[in-house]
Amino acid sequence: MDDDPDFGFLLEVSLRKIGYRVTVVARGAAALEILSREAVDLLITDIYVRDLGRPVADGGLLLINRVRRPGPESEIMAPPDLPIIAVSGATGHTGQEHLLRIAGSLGADEVLTKPFHPEQLNRIIGDLLARRQAGNDQ
């Protein structure tokens, strides 16, 4: 989930190139809708989402919290061990560096600061999926 269409497109292209099936959405609510109707292997979410230049509540922190702590009425199909990667480019702004720490405390398995190299993301994805598979094999 990323509100920046250019970043979302680059992410989608780079992940498809190495064989992943990718769905990109701009808001947490859209991601939750997908998670309620299909199984996914991994979630990558931007932390800080803007609409018309202003931050909105429908961002990555809320999404991570809803995935990790679904309410009794939740229709999310995500398993409790769904790997989550939180990313943010807003950490360079004064007072925003704590966002990645908060994402980790809410349940993100990994956090990345934008910009990052696609190889770094690919390695993290591979590690998270391998760790999840190893846990499922036990």
CATH value at residue 47: 3.40.50.2300
Averaged pLDDT for residues 118-122: 94
Q: What is the pLDDT of residue 43?
A: 97
List the structure tokens of 49: 């989402």
Side chain identity at residue 9, one-letter code: F
Per-residue pLDDT at 70: 83
In this predicted model, what pLDDT tens digit does every residue of 77-118 receive, in sequence order? 888 899 999 998 866 666 667 888 899 999 999 999 888 999
Position 17 scores a pLDDT of: 94
- Structural domain boundaries enclosing 119: 5-137
Q: Comparing C-alpha atoms, which of 126, 127, 103, 128 is closest to residue 113? A: 103
Confidence of residue 64 (pLDDT cuts 50, 70, 90): very high
Q: What is the mean pLDDT of the chain?
A: 88
State the pLDDT at residue 12.
94
Torsion of CA 103, 8, 37, 85, to 10 degrees: -30
- Report the domain count for the chain: 1
